Amino acid sequence: MSTLEIDVGDLRARSVAFTETELVVTLLDGRRIATPLEWYPRLMNASSVQRENFEIMAMGIHWPDLDEDLSIAGMLKGKHSR
Give pLDDT tens digits for 44-67: 999 999 999 999 998 899 999 999
Confidence of residue 6 (pLDDT cuts 50, 70, 90): low
Helix (H) or strand (E) holding 77: helix 72-77
Predicted TM-score of the model (pTM): 0.84
Q: Count CB-CB contacts under 10 A for residue 47.
A: 10
Check residue 81 and give its pLDDT. 86
Domain 8-77 has CATH 3.30.2020.40: yes
Distance of alpha carbon 48 from alpha carbon 44, whole angstroms: 10
